[in-house]
Structure 1
Amino acid sequence: MPHPRKRFSQALRRWLQVFASPVREEDDGGKAGIAIHTYRGYGSHSEIYLMGRVFRQSRVGRSMKQSFWRDILDVLRRITRRGMPGVNVAVRFGDSHTVVDTDADGYFRAHMMINEPLPPNKVWHKAELKVLFRNETVKARAAIYIPPLETDYVVVSDIDDTVMYTGVANKAKMMIRLFFEKADRRAVFPGVAAFYQALFDGGEDRKRPLLYVSRAPWTIYEMLVEFFRMHRIPEGPVLFLREWGLSWKSPLPRRAVHHKQMVIRQMMQLYKEQSFILIGDSGQKDPEVYTQMVREFPSRIKTIYIRSIDENPERDKSISELAREVHETGSTLVLAEDTVSMARHALSQGYISKEGFAAVQEEARKDEAIRG
């Protein structure tokens, strides 16, 4: 086993590289240091959504060779770069195109109708983006996820205390768990990776949309993507994060008013032909939020899985009352102690295969053994 000092050094270098990666990827921008940072887009065979941000970033040190000091410099460049408001962003997807403006923080959102048929089973596509600034053209590309036509379910999942243990909205905890903890101190709940993979496959390689919602800020997007990759959790097309709008004048994050409800409603409108599976935890308001969605879409939401993360009898009682209400609509709310319990119910409903369930059991057993 490497010496603790060496292990820490390796972890630090890895964190620096992940955190600085967007800056390096966007160094092909114009002379003024303008860069377009894109997040994974998503859509259907009739329309797509795309989000990103336009920055001005320093070009100091961009010609340096990769090294520890280059990583440090790139992190500083990322911290000091600023979003550019009121910039026109041209977006093209096949024969479809549109122009959108960036907001006060430099973010932009594009919603486009698709004008041409897409390959029925191709799930990842590319959009081309372009910004014209002071007679300079800056270009970028964005990945767009579009599920196959035969997809039956859409899975929407919370992250914090549902996929991973508490800390996703805390940058310090995220960095420690992602890069600095020992390998045997896993940050995800036992069996999660296999369960989400089984839901994604559906037993027939359906490639169901997996949409993750979090109250965390967009600034840790790359760390979350890396976290999912390291723990072999299907990344899904999108991470729906929040714009915290932090600044020296406003050091506190904006309130997340109905963030999760808005995301689910938007997905309901986008994937009109699909039913939904919602996954959350008992710690905050997921049971109440998801029950409200059942009230609004009683025939569309088939099952709600709630991970029980505390031993509060009153909380369990209130969730049981919500479960009865959900049941009366023809849907189901399952309050589960662990991932295997969720997977067992999913198997009974045909959401996952027998092989998928066996994989969840095996992974959960190994994870529990590692934790001791």
Structure 2
Amino acid sequence: MTANPMPFLVLTRAGFDDISQRVDLGRATLFLNPGLVSEDDIARLRESGAAVHVMGTAVDPLKPQEVQQALLLTRKEAGSVWVERGAPRAGIPVATGQRAQDDIVPETPLRHRLARTAGAFASNAWRLLRRPESGRALMAVPYLGFGNANRIWLKGRLLDEYAFREQSGEDSGWNNLVALYQRLESDEVADSRVLAHFGGTTHEATTDRGGYFSFDITVGAPLAGGRHRVELEFPDNAQPDGRPLRAVADVIVPAETARFGIISDIDDTVLWTNVTNKLNMALMLARTNSHTRKPFKGVAAFYRALGDGVGGAENNPLFYVSSSPWHLYGPLVHFLKLQGIPVGPLMLRELSVRHVLKLNEHGNHKLEQIERILDFYPDMQFVLVGDSGEQDPEIYTEVVRRHPKAVRMIYIRNVNPDPSRIDALDKLIDEVSTTGTQLILSPDSVFAASHAAAEGLIAVDRLPSVRSDMRQDETAKAVATGVAAGGVEDTSTVNEP
């Protein structure tokens, strides 16, 4: 491990005794439940070199919400934090003045679920503590990159994880919450070298504090359109077999037949998230997964038609720009594939856990990523697709101000019927129209597809498929709503015309 103090969240005396046998406490940072150890013990721990913090409020180890809140709070000071094993041993008091554990640990399904979850966190933690630094089984997560004939860009992340569990449509709300939490709490590996082997040359980068790395590579020979593979090597991270960790990143170069590109938002444009209501958004993310979330009606067929173009085989490239965190990259790609929506590079956001729902830099992030894309394709026009829920119309209008010749069309899904919002959009529509570009406020995918067909962006004979796709989505949503009866109310139709 590193020389930095190792942080631990310890909620029970059993957990404290366990960690005392496994770790040199003189090199640890301890976040302790109040009353867990005596004041004299705390003084001795501090004298030995330990950093000891006693929490102001006791955390019940049998209440997942309290445990998760404690983890979030401790991460503000310590970054990644190990959590102790699951349910404590019976017969050992939790804290002075509290009941014995055989009184407070009933044999209930909640206790079993918490024990399994906390045990999984702890088992990984102890295995990592015992494993030598050079033999840790790390996980490289390369993201789909993009490029042109002379240059490619790709990004990825190095994590101190084995793998994320595959989810299914049968997962419960609890399992979805745990899976989301594990992704958001994944531990990054900083200051690690990354080698990219491509076109007979090798390029080097270093992971930052968030474990992220990126490459912007100028190539020697012109690249043909299609997918290209970049071999990644992590020489500082030997695997249990002694070999360096390796991974492969894919990079997409648009085909010569492409007539335009598409840049699309995800939240409330492709996937309903109710991003304007942070509480509903959090509930949706916590209770669903890529199998159970549904796209806006008709989006899949409309995006396929845009990709094919009016000629039917143009292979127009599609890019997604979103303020969702990179932690959700895998589930989002899985969602696109499951729904038959064309997959393209995703430009997501670097966020810490405590900032996931703080989207105050939403506009800056999206604008920067769109600028990056336009820089790679100065001779290509783009169709921009977004929604009226937050800042997409304002961001796209700013893109038109900066690059009036780069934007072919703007489609905004109307998800906010507030009259003041409609008035603001009318002003943007008027401003954009002065450049010769259209900003279309669309109630649904069929309306947008009909307009796109009239403008020569998609083939007219693709309209029936968009209508059919929209009807199928309506049926699927009705079935899902019926199945979900008794759970959190499905409000996905509230903001969708």
For residue 34 of structure 1, report the CA deviation from its aligned partner: 3.4
User: Aligned equivalents of 1:326 and 1:354: distance in 2?
Assistant: 26
For residue 137 of structure 1, report the CA deviation from its aligned partner: 2.0
2:401 aligned partner: 295
User: Aligned equivalents of 1:274 and 1:82: distance in 2?
Assistant: 39
2:229 aligned partner: 126
Partner SS for 2:271: coil
Distance 1:128 1:176, change over 3 A: same
Distance 1:274 1:133, change over 3 A: same
User: Aligned equivalents of 1:77 and 1:228: distance in 2?
Assistant: 21
2:422 matches 1:316 = yes
Q: Which residue, out of 185, 190, 215, partners 1:110? A: 215
User: Aligned equivalents of 2:391 and 2:418: distance in 1?
Assistant: 15
2:141 aligned partner: 37
1:47 aligned partner: 151
User: Aligned equivalents of 2:246 and 2:205: distance in 1?
Assistant: 15
User: Aligned equivalents of 1:297 and 1:155: distance in 2?
Assistant: 15
Q: Which residue, out of 218, 221, 226, partners 2:334? A: 226
Partner SS for 2:210: coil
Asked if structure 2 preserves the Cα contact closer than 8 Å seen for 1:242 and 1:256, the reply is no
- 5+ residue gaps in structure 1? 1-15, 17-22, 24-28, 60-67
Asked if structure 1 preserves the Cα contact closer than 8 Å seen for 2:270 and 2:296, the reply is yes
User: Aligned equivalents of 1:251 and 1:230: distance in 2?
Assistant: 25
1:239 aligned partner: 346
1:100 aligned partner: 205
1:211 aligned partner: 319
Q: Matched residue pairs, number?
A: 328
1:361 aligned partner: 467
Distance 1:371 1:89, change over 3 A: closer
2:99 aligned partner: none
Asked if structure 2 preserves the Cα contact closer than 8 Å seen for 1:210 and 1:235, the reply is yes
- Higher mean C-alpha deviation, range 215-224 or range 163-172: 163-172
1:194 aligned partner: 301
User: Aligned equivalents of 2:457 and 2:286: distance in 1?
Assistant: 34
Q: Which residue, out of 88, 97, 108, partners 2:193? A: 88
User: Aligned equivalents of 1:104 and 1:163: distance in 2?
Assistant: 31
- 5+ residue gaps in structure 2? 1-116, 118-123, 125-132, 164-170, 479-497
Higher strand share: 1
Asked if structure 1 preserves the Cα contact closer than 8 Å seen for 2:153 and 2:214, the reply is yes
User: Aligned equivalents of 1:77 and 1:178: distance in 2?
Assistant: 13
For residue 210 of structure 1, report the CA deviation from its aligned partner: 0.8
Partner SS for 2:353: coil
2:264 matches 1:157 = yes
Asked if structure 2 preserves the Cα contact closer than 8 Å seen for 1:96 and 1:112, the reply is no
Distance 1:90 1:371, change over 3 A: closer
* Deviation digits for residues 259-280 of structure 1 (CA, Å, limit 9, x no counterpart): 1100111111101110011011
Listed as ranges, the matches of 1:270-285 within 5 Å are 270-285=376-391
For residue 365 of structure 1, report the CA deviation from its aligned partner: 3.0
- Higher mean C-alpha deviation, range 344-353 or range 165-174: 165-174
User: Aligned equivalents of 2:417 and 2:357: distance in 1?
Assistant: 31
User: Aligned equivalents of 1:261 and 1:204: distance in 2?
Assistant: 30
For residue 308 of structure 1, report the CA deviation from its aligned partner: 0.7
Partner SS for 2:289: helix
Question: What TM-score, normalized by structure 1, do the two folds share?
Answer: 0.79
For residue 55 of structure 1, report the CA deviation from its aligned partner: 2.4
Distance 1:339 1:140, change over 3 A: same
For residue 133 of structure 1, report the CA deviation from its aligned partner: 1.4
2:289 aligned partner: 178
Letter matched to residue 254 of structure 2: P
Partner SS for 1:221: helix
Asked if structure 1 preserves the Cα contact closer than 8 Å seen for 2:326 and 2:348, the reply is yes
2:375 matches 1:269 = yes
Decide which structure has the larger Cα Rg and report it: 2
User: Aligned equivalents of 1:175 and 1:286: distance in 2?
Assistant: 25
User: Aligned equivalents of 2:290 and 2:230: distance in 1?
Assistant: 32
Letter matched to residue 127 of structure 1: V
User: Aligned equivalents of 2:408 and 2:332: distance in 1?
Assistant: 28
Letter matched to residue 206 of structure 1: E
User: Aligned equivalents of 2:140 and 2:460: distance in 1?
Assistant: 44
Partner SS for 1:82: coil
2:413 matches 1:307 = yes
Distance 1:58 1:337, change over 3 A: closer
For residue 251 of structure 1, report the CA deviation from its aligned partner: 8.5
For residue 371 of structure 1, report the CA deviation from its aligned partner: 4.6
Distance 1:91 1:54, change over 3 A: same
Asked if structure 2 preserves the Cα contact closer than 8 Å seen for 1:243 and 1:254, the reply is no
* Percent of residue pairs bearing the same amino acid type: 33
User: Aligned equivalents of 2:265 and 2:453: distance in 1?
Assistant: 21
User: Aligned equivalents of 1:55 and 1:305: distance in 2?
Assistant: 37
Does 1 or 2 have the higher relative contact order (CA < 8 Å, sep 6+)? 1
Task: Indicate the RMSD between aligned Cα atoms, in angstroms.
Answer: 3.1
User: Aligned equivalents of 2:290 and 2:156: distance in 1?
Assistant: 26
Distance 1:334 1:78, change over 3 A: closer
* Deviation digits for residues 5-60 of structure 1 (CA, Å, limit 9, x no counterpart): xxxxxxxxxxx9xxxxxx9xxxxx9623233221111111111111111223369x
For residue 348 of structure 1, report the CA deviation from its aligned partner: 1.0
